[in-house]
């Protein structure tokens, strides 16, 4: 009876395997199409950029580090005007002068400068005297490129950004989820059926034998048989062992989770909503967390950054008033730290965001959907290592990695992973 069943099983599994395989390939192709298209777009744009006379890639970094806090690449007005089309409105010399010292341009009586100065309630723009001509050209090349790309890229949900490996799932999990859920329900039903059959068979067998040995009601019989089971030393010791092992496992699991604060979402002194700011208003993370591309810390924004907008917006809200109080009393806001790495571990945001090109959501989860900020990842060493094993190094346009890529290509056909360039070594994080 078993043999044909096994054959069946084999056949079935093969069938289902191949089906899943085909389905997953199809799914993968479907999923990758938009990103392929996007990639082509971006290469096309990058190819076109030098014609504009600036290095858009470099410009992007400069823009994100210096400009994005006040300017959008679109028409949108943030603190300063949106920069879309700015390079069309003025010649380069004027723009360069403005970037390096806008006050000087205003002082010179340039009518457009004065107009925009007054329009933005005489807010002074920071001067960037150190930016070279090439830098400024690069920034505007990026603005032009991103400004035109932005509406196109905005279409996919969540604004799937360049190359993020995690965001690749963003488009299609709903289908997959339904599929898996359905399969699970079927399996559950099957199991339930089998269990029912076993129960009825067993009770029949028990009642059959019971009739021979002794008579009594069902409960009495059940009690007797349970007693017999309880007095069986083999069963008893097995139970004890299982219990001990379970306790041991629970203890070990518990010990491993000491200090792991996954899901930690403390109440903050100001009920700031990332959902509102990052989700609804789509303010770039980098706008407030200014250090993320520069250094180790992403920076909790200082109160003056809040004031960039809240100097005019929603001043009357009691929560916003807390910021005003903080500034008046010169007393910083004491946020509760959510993501706590132990002091012995060194983590640098710039390495991961600027160099690695990771999205914030990779580690922090979907912050743009969080009313109260929460620790989504476990932040354990295993979690770090796991990611370093799986993640490909973002070597694109980074001369630092050229030699490594070349050497790696000679040795292996696999993509260059972080682990391949020493990403698992102790002193990458502990010193």
Among 1, 3, 219, 258, binds other proteins (CB under 8 A): 258
Q: Is 286 in the site for other proteins (CB under 8 A)?
A: no
Among 23, 48, 265, 303, binds other proteins (CB under 8 A): 303
Q: Is 295 in the site for other proteins (CB under 8 A)?
A: yes
* Residue 57 or 161 having the CB closest to other proteins: 57
Residue 43 CA to residue 321 CA, distance in Å, equals 47
Q: In the range 33-62, which residues lie near other proteins by CB under 8 A?
A: 61
Q: Is 419 in the site for other proteins (CB under 8 A)?
A: no
* Residue 84 or 376 having the CB closest to other proteins: 376
* Residue 168 or 405 having the CB closest to other proteins: 405
Q: Is 261 in the site for other proteins (CB under 8 A)?
A: yes
Count of residues near other proteins by CB under 8 A: 61
Among 264, 310, 377, 380, binds other proteins (CB under 8 A): 264
User: Which of 79, 100, 65 has its CA nearest to residue 304?
Assistant: 79
Query: Quick one: which segment of 15-23, 71-79, 114-122, 260-268 binds other proteins (CB under 8 A)?
Result: 260-268
In this structure, the number of other CB atoms found within 10 A of the CB of residue 337 comes to 9
Residue 154 CA to residue 74 CA, distance in Å, equals 11
Tokens standing for residue 378 = 């476990």
Q: Is residue 163 within 8 Å of 394, Cβ to Cβ?
A: yes
Q: Is residue 423 within 8 Å of 388, Cβ to Cβ?
A: yes
Vertex 362: Cα angle to 79 and 78 (nearest 5)? 5
Tokens standing for residue 231 = 């007095």
Tokens standing for residue 427 = 């002193």
The least CB distance from residue 257 to other proteins, in Å, is 7
Residue 377 CA to residue 384 CA, distance in Å, equals 10
Q: Is 172 in the site for other proteins (CB under 8 A)?
A: no
Q: In the range 103-142, which residues lie near other proteins by CB under 8 A?
A: 126
* Residue 131 or 303 having the CB closest to other proteins: 303
Vertex 243: Cα angle to 242 and 248 (nearest 5)? 95
Q: Is 193 in the site for other proteins (CB under 8 A)?
A: no
Among 326, 361, 374, 391, binds other proteins (CB under 8 A): 326
* Residue 117 or 128 having the CB closest to other proteins: 128
Q: Is 294 in the site for other proteins (CB under 8 A)?
A: yes
The least CB distance from residue 264 to other proteins, in Å, is 8
What is the Cα 197 distance to its own chain's centre?
A: 47
Query: Quick one: which segment of 26-34, 129-137, 191-199, 296-304 binds other proteins (CB under 8 A)?
Result: 296-304
Tokens standing for residue 291 = 């250090």
* Residue 49 or 86 having the CB closest to other proteins: 49
Query: Quick one: which segment of 18-26, 68-76, 201-209, 399-407 binds other proteins (CB under 8 A)?
Result: 399-407
Among 31, 70, 149, 355, binds other proteins (CB under 8 A): 355
In degrees to the nearest 10, what's the CA dihedral of 315, 321, 326, 330? 60
Q: Is 166 in the site for other proteins (CB under 8 A)?
A: no
The least CB distance from residue 181 to other proteins, in Å, is 34
Tokens 């983590």 belong to 347
Q: Is residue 142 within 8 Å of 56, Cβ to Cβ?
A: yes
Among 46, 150, 270, 327, binds other proteins (CB under 8 A): 327
Residues facing 417 on adjacent strands: 392
Total length of the chain? 431
Q: In the range 216-255, which residues lie near other proteins by CB under 8 A?
A: 254-255
Residue 62 CA to residue 69 CA, distance in Å, equals 12
Cβ contacts of 294 within 8 Å, gap of 6 or more: 65, 350, 354
The least CB distance from residue 297 to other proteins, in Å, is 4
Residue 100 CA to residue 113 CA, distance in Å, equals 14
The least CB distance from residue 165 to other proteins, in Å, is 19
SS3 420: helix
User: Which of 377, 395, 398 has its CA nearest to residue 386?
Assistant: 377
Tokens standing for residue 100 = 């390096």
DSSP per residue, 154-189: HSSTT---TT-TGGGGGGSHHHHHHHHHHHHHHHHH
Q: Is 384 in the site for other proteins (CB under 8 A)?
A: no
Among 122, 215, 399, 413, binds other proteins (CB under 8 A): 399
Chain positions contacting other proteins, by CB under 8 A: 61, 126, 254-255, 257-259, 261, 264, 266, 290-291, 293-297, 299-305, 326-327, 330-337, 340, 342-344, 346, 348, 350-351, 354-355, 397-404, 407, 421-422, 425-428, 430-431
């Amino acid at each position: 009876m078993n043999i044909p069943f096994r054959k069946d099983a084999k056949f079935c599994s093969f069938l289902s395997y191949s089906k899943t395989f085909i389905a997953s390939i199809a799914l993968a192709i479907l999923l990758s199409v938009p990103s392929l298209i996007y990639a082509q777009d971006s290469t096309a744009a990058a190819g076109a950029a030098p014609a504009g006379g600036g290095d858009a890639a470099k410009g992007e970094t400069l823009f994100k580090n210096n400009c994005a806090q006040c300017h959008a690449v679109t028409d949108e007005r943030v603190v300063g005007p949106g920069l879309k089309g700015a390079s069309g409105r003025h010649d380069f010399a004027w723009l360069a002068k403005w970037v390096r010292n806008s006050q000087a341009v205003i002082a010179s009586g340039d009518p457009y400068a004065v107009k925009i100065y007054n329009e933005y309630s005489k807010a002074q723009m920071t001067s960037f005297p150190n930016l070279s001509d090439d830098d400024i050209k690069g920034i505007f090349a990026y603005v032009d490129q991103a400004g035109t790309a932005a509406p196109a890229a905005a279409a996919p949900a969540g604004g799937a950004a360049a190359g993020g490996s995690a965001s690749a799932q963003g488009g299609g999990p709903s289908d997959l989820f339904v599929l898996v859920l359905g399969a699970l329900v079927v399996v559950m039903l099957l199991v339930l059926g089998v269990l029912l059959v076993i129960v009825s068979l067993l009770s029949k067998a028990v009642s059959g034998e019971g009739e021979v040995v002794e008579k009594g009601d069902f409960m009495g019989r059940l009690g007797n048989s349970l007693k017999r089971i309880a007095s069986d030393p083999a069963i008893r010791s097995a139970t004890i062992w299982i219990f001990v092992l379970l306790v041991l496992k629970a203890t070990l699991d518990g010990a491993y989770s000491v200090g792991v604060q996954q899901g930690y979402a403390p109440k903050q002194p100001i009920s700031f909503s990332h959902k509102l700011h990052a989700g609804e208003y789509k303010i770039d993370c980098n706008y407030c967390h200014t250090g993320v591309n520069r250094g180790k810390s992403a920076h909790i924004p200082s109160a003056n950054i809040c004031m960039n907008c809240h100097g005019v917006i929603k001043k009357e809200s009691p929560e916003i008033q807390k910021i005003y109080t903080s500034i008046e009393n010169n007393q910083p806001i004491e946020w509760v730290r959510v993501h706590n790495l132990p002091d012995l571990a060194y983590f640098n945001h710039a390495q991961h965001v600027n160099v690695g090109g990771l999205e914030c959501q990779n580690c922090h989860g979907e912050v743009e959907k969080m009313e109260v900020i929460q620790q989504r990842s476990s932040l354990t060493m295993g979690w770090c290592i796991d990611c370093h094993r799986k993640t490909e190094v973002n070597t694109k346009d980074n001369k630092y990695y050229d030699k490594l890529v070349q050497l790696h290509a000679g040795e292996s056909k696999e993509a260059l992973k972080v682990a391949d360039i020493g990403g698992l070594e102790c002193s990458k994080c502990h010193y």
